[in-house]
Structure 1
Amino acid sequence: MLRSRQNDSDPDFASAPVVGRVETWSSREASFHNHRRHQLIYAIKGVIHVSTQASRWVLPPTRALWICANTDHKLSVARAAEIRVLYIDPKAICAPTSSSCVVVEVTPLVRELISSCAGLSWDYQSGSKEARLCEVLLDQIATLDRSPVDLPVPTDPRGLRIVEILKRDPSSREPLASLAARVGASSRTVERIFVRETHLAFGAWRQRLRLLAALELLAYGEAVTNVALDVGYESASSFVAAFRETFGTTPGRFFN
């Protein structure tokens, strides 16, 4: 069940350049939709899954997602989450243009700014202290580190079927040849599909899937050793090495 502040208003038509909502989600999934405004989505507690037609993201409380205006997307959570959503008028600021969605690191300062801006009334005036607070947040977002917590997905039906198989069990060690046979393709064909449509070799894509599954478990406080085994690594050390290679830091520092 979703509970939302200012639930009866449409943020796309608010007068203020940046408006927000404070939401509580239980386990659920929303359908695909889009907004006229850019969005910044952040879970102050819990983990959010965001999907577009081209990619999927797992967002623990150390990361937020910028979604450019008019981008079709959907959200889901597996467990209860406290979410802050900001809606930003594209005319008000210079938005990121490298992608329809950009993941940004959430520093302690940015976390507090997001929480404060999400709770503002929707009718504050230009030049007010509320407007200046939002400007500080947007300035901070422009300088934040980007993080590879996305999972690009292929559009080819055979590739998509393999994605669904492995999403159900990220720890699976089923060889590529066996997976390919299950979807009526050869190993070489599947490799080509993933390289062409996700820009990742299949092995690298599979590792990214495992690490994103691990992110969610770690965000809920699971021990590193248990998480490593749950997502298919033979040891905690091999998991930490793969995590550091992808995210540039250890699991412990990622969440601090």
Structure 2
Amino acid sequence: MPWETIDAPAGVTPPAPLKVRAQSIPARHFFPEHSHQWHQMVYAISGALTVISEAGSLVISPEHAVWLPTGLRHRVGSLLGAEFRSLWIADDTGGALSAGGPRVFAVSPLLNALIVEATDIEGQADDDGYAGRITHLILDQLRRARPLPAALPWPRDGALAVLCEALYTDPANERGPEEWGQALGMSARTLARHFAAETGMSLRSWRRRMRLFRAIELLGGGMGVTRTAMELGYGSTSAFVYAFRLEMGSSPQVYMRCRHDELAGRASP
């Protein structure tokens, strides 16, 4: 199934110093390649985003955001659909994230709550300065953000992108390198070499990280632990819980409960 483009917003004006945009991205839709004369923070409050730029390609879960510096050509989309939040930030207010190329960083519960609030009040009159205070708090959080290595690398185009899309859509797919190589017209060794060159990971390691991303996405959408384990292709719930604990340091139940409590606590007046 081909990807479809999303029209860019009309009448775009520079942020002064920050603008927030909210948009639902349907499955297999993307914004065509473009650049801005300002920084952009790419984030989804639900679902996962695919971000492709001159510097590389990756997928992020709602735990993370991507900082795209001024002038960087990029495109953003979602394989399975997402609730997209985009922050446009004036070129001179980026803080530590502005140095260098794109960055992945963790979205704290506070920053998440501030983005939700900024979205709700976008376009309203700021008679008492409340919107301005929210803006300053967001900028403070962004200045404190530190880059993380946590992201799911993604091939830019071609056969390997087809492979990753198929596995991400159906994480229970058990086909190995030999079968995938045959389907894509290359040997298992060639597939392994090209995959590592494009993503910096082996296919096995990539699959493990992909399942973690999908687990957070599915659990965050309200799916139970047992059904999530089955959707991801684990042989049992206990095997999934073990793998999740190994990567995240806690069970899926504890992780999601803590995340929910943090978000609820930050959002409470």
Unaligned runs of 5+ in 1: 1-6
What is the match of residue 138 of structure 1? 139
Q: Where does residue 18 of structure 2 map in the other structure?
A: 18
Q: Do the aligned residues in 1 keep the contact of 2:20 with 2:118 (CA within 8 Å)? A: yes
Alignment CA distance shift 1:195-1:78 (3 Å): closer
Structure 1 residues 116 and 52: CA distance shift in structure 2, 3 A: same
User: Is the contact made by 1:147 and 1:247 (CA closer than 8 Å) also made in structure 2?
Assistant: no
SS state at 1:52 partner: strand
Contact 1:71/1:100 (<8 A) preserved:
no
CA separation of 1:51 and 1:156: change in aligned 2, threshold 3 A = closer
Is it true that 1:186 corresponds to 2:187 in the alignment?
yes
CA distance in 2, matches of 1:164, 1:226: 21
The residue that corresponds to 2:4 in the other structure is none
Number of residues of Structure 1 aligned to a counterpart in Structure 2: 241
Label 1:30 to 1:199 Cα distance change in 2 as closer, same or farther (>3 A). Answer: closer
Cα deviation digits, residues 121-178 of structure 1 (max 9, x gap): 5998xxx664454232222234457666532123574433432332342211112211
Q: 1:3 — aligned with what?
A: none
SS at structure 1 position matched to 2:50? strand
In the other structure, the counterpart of 1:72 is: 74
Give the letter for the 1:49 counterpart: L
Distance 1:212 1:155, change over 3 A: same
CA distance in 2 between partners of 1:156 and 1:27 (Å): 20
Q: How does 1:109-148 map to 2 (within 5 A)?
A: 109-118=110-119, 119-121=121-123, 130-144=131-145
Report how far residue 200 of structure 1 moved: 0.9
RMSD: 3.2
Residues 75 and 157 (structure 1), Cα distance of their counterparts in 2 relative to 1, 3 Å cut: closer
Distance 1:172 1:41, change over 3 A: same
Q: What residue identity is the alignment partner of 1:20?
A: V
In 2: Cα distance, 1:35 partner to 1:242 partner: 40
Contact 2:41 / 2:86 at 8 angstroms: preserved in 1? yes
Shift in alpha-carbon separation, 1:31–1:41, aligned structure 2, 3 A: closer
Q: Name whichever of 68-77 and 176-185 sits farther off.
A: 68-77
More helix by percentage = 2
CA-to-aligned-CA distance 1:180-222 (integer Å, 9 cap, x gap): 1222222222222222221111110111222222222212100
Gaps of 5+ in 2: 1-8, 261-269
